[in-house]
Chain A
């Protein structure tokens, strides 16, 4: 009996410990997870925690001190420049390790290692667009250059110094939730990070959808629906600028008409994991003639997916060579958007198309030989080994052609036939050392230094804005932009013929630029850089409306101050609605409306055109216009099952402004001829139904409808770590570009006085640990449109009240 009892307890006991230690029965190993000495409780940082620390490092060149202010912003003072990058790496790891590793795992197509088989498709896509190939090429170039090699080596050692000092109990909480351990950082991971940003900003591509649209809708309709040249375009380089004749002109290959413009088939590829086309930014700069102080003021707010931990980490780096302040990317050394004692710099996305697909004819399903210039050419093959959590490795063979990796073929997308394989030519694959641009910008003293620095940058194309204390302002749209014959690269190109290959890049001196303009200001907001008089073919994914509002305001402004710039960055005026509402109001047939529909019509009529948080008119207008857009285009786009894209908002608006009998207004599926009046009225009726539901759920106010949310990087799997329901205004096409989960990821304003006056904020916090009070400490202020004064600390400020903690790094 006692024997049985013991066996029973023994089994119960071991069973219990097994269950509490395992992920296979409960989703979390609750024993380990809730252990007070090992589990999540160890991540609950005291709100009075001290960050004072003395760290001994073998191999530091000198000494370094880090002073943390009350927002946990580190002010690094290093005797040697490379030590500063070591310390930056250490701090990035200390506060953001999980995020850095997760993002670079994502870049490398290694998410399945963490999340299991649901990540395989993503991982394959990343590898097949050549992310690792691209990072290896970039790393080769970075390591050839002594300055960047030393910086990246020091940065990597700093990260690894932290990782090796890390105890299991101190692992970031995401490791404890997902059940894995960090690995050592490498220089390749830094290169991978730059490629992940490149993919976010220069990875959105429409070749397949455009190819289908051309075939299904015909060339005339294609040009109407997918033009990137809006009538209302306010280009970065002002209209009327005279461009010199291009140094290089290209003509389409002789076979283009038959092989390119009139291809026979559509392409059934629905690209997954496309980057958000809203990834963009605003930047502008005023010279002294427009400002109250007589000094330039530079403003920048990059629009990215809003995440916790934030993509940004605020930092000051003080070395004998320079003193820079701004935000950095956990993953690379240096300040990415910011200023130093002499200049300020910022970025917006150029949106130019630098990514083309070529159709490859393989000899057979081995995909080792392809037809090119009348002979079989060998393709190298890279066997990708995708590790999957709790499952066997998945192998994927990717062929590499003269263009680049074959992203789509029958082995990846089973809908494709053997003759449908598509290779990717992408500037991101070229070897280049973009890191060096930032290392040089951090120490740049004047326009010439800035100009030299940006020459190292090849992708993703950026509008690089600049101001100096000497009073210069400038913007270059910089990157390697392929030379194109007209319409080259809009559609999938034949990969059998070298005449369709890229023939080089637009000479960088001919890239759109503007230096000290008479107008006294420069701005960019992801619009087309130049109008049609620019002598090169520059297709891209461009925004129209933010640029209009910004230019209107900047043209009118005088004696500008920092607070004027703050108001402008938070401006919620809807210039699209200003143009679009009159059409809705003119064509709606009021006599056909019910009482409730008239109520929503009234809300649109009386709306002040401002996307403020409490506005109901915004929601009514957006619902109505979107419904009209669908009424006009869905019949045409749904006539074929192949993937097609919705036309941009400006396409419909400008077409209707010109001609209310726009041909797409008619619904091709009905025998009758719809008019704009029928469509606008029916759109309101459909919208009204939706609006009535929203009103019932109390979601008809703009901010409640939009529900601005800063997701944790694990998205809906970790809503407990997200911030939802932020009551802010703005939206797509608004200067305050806050959408549901996307928007101004850092707002910065720098006035180049002596000393520099700067303000900034991002919707996150310095510490990536959800158990820290610094995890989301900036979010509420960001939501309200407020800023922090950015404190550029000096050598003699060590005793300043703002210094809360001190960390020292030395070799003895």
Chain B
């Protein structure tokens, strides 16, 4: 349950901060999640990864869907050298997810450093 809540909270935090801050606010969201939600290190990482992966993945997908994938096709050719809008969505989600997950590791491992076993 804590795991699920942590996913929602992290995603919501990332979204809200993203309204004002640059893209790296997803790292801050992951960091805060790691600092404040007590979980095992691995769950902290996973929950933040999933949170940002889903947030970026869904948002990119739905934006692209309502765009008939016009832009994603072009950008996938430009960046990935292949006409594959869905792959671009996945790459987007992965980059977001990894950033969030690793940030969460940083936050959580800082807390765990001071915690007695």
Task: Check: B70 CB closer than 8 A to any chain A CB.
Answer: yes
Residues of A within 8 A of B84 (CB): none
A289 to chain B, nearest CB (A): 49
Query: Are the CB atoms of A40 and B27 closer together than 8 Å?
Result: no
Query: Are the CB atoms of A41 and B64 closer together than 8 Å?
Result: yes
* CA distance in complex: A671, B79 (Å): 57
* CA distance in complex: A698, B9 (Å): 58
Contact among A2, A3, A21, A34 with B91 in the assembled complex (CB-CB below 8 Å): A34
Per-residue interface assignment for chain B, residues 13 to 29, with 1 indicating a CB less than 8 Å from any chain A CB and 0 otherwise: 00100110011101100
Task: Check: B71 CB closer than 8 A to any chain A CB.
Answer: yes
Query: Are the CB atoms of A17 and B71 closer together than 8 Å?
Result: no
Task: Check: A622 CB closer than 8 A to any chain B CB.
Answer: no
* CA distance in complex: A366, B100 (Å): 60
Contact among B60, B64, B99 with A20 in the assembled complex (CB-CB below 8 Å): B99
* CA distance in complex: A608, B19 (Å): 63
Task: Check: A635 CB closer than 8 A to any chain B CB.
Answer: no
Residues of A within 8 A of B99 (CB): 16-17, 20, 31
Query: Are the CB atoms of B78 and A47 closer together than 8 Å?
Result: no
Interface size for A (C-beta < 8 A) is 42
B26 to chain A, nearest CB (A): 8
Query: Are the CB atoms of B27 and A17 closer together than 8 Å?
Result: yes
Query: Are the CB atoms of B112 and A2 closer together than 8 Å?
Result: yes
Query: Are the CB atoms of B102 and A16 closer together than 8 Å?
Result: yes
Give the residues from 1 to 46 in chain A that come closer than 8 angstroms, CB to CB, to chain B. 2-3, 5-6, 9-10, 12-13, 16-17, 20-21, 28, 30-32, 34-46
Pair count A-B, CB < 8 A = 126
Task: Check: B32 CB closer than 8 A to any chain A CB.
Answer: no
Residues of A within 8 A of B92 (CB): 34, 36, 41
A777 to chain B, nearest CB (A): 11
Contact among B56, B66, B106, B112 with A13 in the assembled complex (CB-CB below 8 Å): B106
Q: Is the interface of A mostly helix, strand, loop or mixed?
A: helix
Given contacts A20-B95, A720-B77, A721-B74, whether A36 and B109 have CB atoms under 8 Å apart is no
What residue of chain B has the Cβ atom nearest to residue A46's Cβ?
B66
Residues of A within 8 A of B96 (CB): 34-36
Task: Check: A770 CB closer than 8 A to any chain B CB.
Answer: yes
Query: Are the CB atoms of B70 and A47 closer together than 8 Å?
Result: yes
Residues of B within 8 A of A771 (CB): 67, 70-71, 74
Task: Check: A186 CB closer than 8 A to any chain B CB.
Answer: no
B13 to chain A, nearest CB (A): 13
Task: Check: A773 CB closer than 8 A to any chain B CB.
Answer: yes
Task: Check: B63 CB closer than 8 A to any chain A CB.
Answer: yes
Give the residues from 60 to 117 in chain B that come closer than 8 angstroms, CB to CB, to chain A. 60, 63-64, 66-68, 70-72, 74-75, 77-79, 88, 91-92, 95-96, 98-99, 102-103, 105-106, 109-110, 112-113
Task: Check: A147 CB closer than 8 A to any chain B CB.
Answer: no
Task: Check: A391 CB closer than 8 A to any chain B CB.
Answer: no
Residues of B within 8 A of A173 (CB): 71
Contact among B23, B27, B91, B113 with A37 in the assembled complex (CB-CB below 8 Å): B23
Per-residue interface assignment for chain A, residues 92 to 123, with 1 indicating a CB less than 8 Å from any chain B CB and 0 otherwise: 00000000000000000000000000000000
Extra A-B contacts (13), CB below 8 Å, given A17-B103, A34-B88, A44-B64: A6-B110, A31-B24, A31-B95, A35-B23, A36-B55, A37-B19, A39-B23, A41-B59, A46-B66, A47-B67, A720-B74, A773-B68, A775-B70
| A residues neighboring B (CB under 8 Å) | 2-3, 5-6, 9-10, 12-13, 16-17, 20-21, 28, 30-32, 34-48, 173, 177, 718-721, 770-773, 775
